[in-house]
A and B are shown apart, each in its own frame.
Chain A
């Protein structure tokens, strides 16, 4: 269970000036977070990952206190066991596809599984600049999964994929989430992106 109760001052496109969220995410489930641009969807993911600090409130995950502003608790991102799929992919230009995955794990069998799932098996020696937009996005997903995180945070993870690739990848992800008992929070502009994966939807206004 992940329990979030936070406020964070932010500059929003709609003129609002703070994000206030109280939500719970059950373990082993996938939640689709939707909302207009600037509503704070990405900020929510960053707060949970520990990449941004809230102004007030707390975040509790898997029985552990990750953030509590009042008690000055702030567990570092390295110790939260989260995988993060960044909207801009945030790939490492100097590493090949294989090296990206080896950055997260030494388990070669698991790497092969991720490569098969994302369709990147034929590109293991390629660096990001030689990949298409869709391949980069799939690499971003595979890399985030490589550490076998307890919680996967995905920010617009399917935006660069064609419908057929997207559907195939979502099926594989659902299978992997079930296999690993992984909790996932998925941010998307398009509700359709989460239909297959998500069991619950959270809208931020």
Chain B
């Protein structure tokens, strides 16, 4: 069994999770504040990948990033970036596809914080930034950890979107789930079995870690 697809899956999941952490925390905080109707529309758009068939998203991204289309041509001509059939393209697609898995729990956690806690901090002289880092963030940290684990696992298991954008290039875009599919296509069931077992193990460890984090959350609040 070639371990390269598994390492590529881990690398893709890691990079995607880091990017989504950087995006999800400020975006989740912003969306948690009451606001205009356009916030609802934006939130619906950002949650769309949850219900959209991966092939639909993959197809649209392939069309958008293709050098034969306006946006893809602009990326190639202006920035010399080609996102189709590249690892960078997989990252962009994964970020879009996994965004709701990071965003929704983080936004919900921020929404659940009592407004009066923030007000108490303000009346104690703390600025909005100090309140964010000293009151809000510590109270959503387990939701962030949990969302990160789920995002990581979800990216590990991606198939449709990455197949559309990245294809099946060994060492470049062939991640674990695609290597598994490829092995089945070649009727190498013993290799497919090993890929499946590794991906299953990763998923189980992730789900277990989420449970442990949630347990720690309950103990942490009470302790």
Give me the interface of A with B, judged by CB distance under 8 Å: 49, 51, 76-80, 82-84, 86, 88, 90-94, 103-104, 127, 129-130, 143-144, 146-147, 149
A92 to B114, CA, bound (A): 10
Chain B stretch 138-182: residues in CB contact (< 8 A) with chain A: 138-139
A93-B139 CB under 8 A given contacts A84-B119, A127-B221, A127-B222: yes
A129-B122 CB under 8 A given contacts A88-B114, A92-B117, A93-B139: no
Chain B stretch 23-48: residues in CB contact (< 8 A) with chain A: none
Interface-located stretch among B14-22, B89-97, B100-108, B123-131: B123-131
Q: Is B194 an interface residue (CB 8 A)?
A: no
Range class of the B interface residue count: 20 to 34
A84 pairs with B222, CB closer than 8 A: no
Task: Give the residue among B116, B124, B135, B223 with the most A Cβ atoms within 10 A.
Answer: B124
B116 pairs with A88, CB closer than 8 A: yes
Q: Is B201 an interface residue (CB 8 A)?
A: no
A143 to B117, CA, bound (A): 12
Q: Taking A92-B120, A92-B135 as given, write out 17 further A-B residue pairs in contact, using a Cβ cutoff of 8 Å, ordered by the A residue number.
A: A49-B123, A78-B122, A78-B123, A80-B123, A83-B123, A86-B120, A90-B114, A90-B117, A90-B120, A92-B139, A94-B221, A127-B221, A127-B222, A127-B223, A129-B222, A143-B120, A149-B123
Chain B residues near A80 (CB-CB < 8 A): 123
Within 8 Å by CB of B116, from A90, A127, A143, A147, lies A90
Q: Is B215 an interface residue (CB 8 A)?
A: no
Give 16 CB contacts A-B under 8 Å: A49-B119, A51-B123, A77-B119, A78-B127, A80-B123, A88-B114, A90-B117, A91-B120, A92-B117, A92-B135, A93-B221, A103-B134, A129-B222, A144-B123, A146-B124, A147-B125
Chain A residues near B121 (CB-CB < 8 A): 103
Chain A residues near B124 (CB-CB < 8 A): 83, 103-104, 143, 146-147
Give B120's nearest chain A residue, CB to CB: A90
B123 pairs with A84, CB closer than 8 A: yes
Give B130's nearest chain A residue, CB to CB: A78
Task: Give the residue among A49, A83, A84, A92 with the most B Cβ atoms within 10 A.
Answer: A92
Give A130's nearest chain B residue, CB to CB: B222
Chain A residues near B123 (CB-CB < 8 A): 49, 51, 77-78, 80, 82-84, 144, 149
Within 8 Å by CB of A130, from B134, B139, B223, lies B223
A77-B122 CB under 8 A given contacts A92-B117, A93-B221, A103-B134: yes
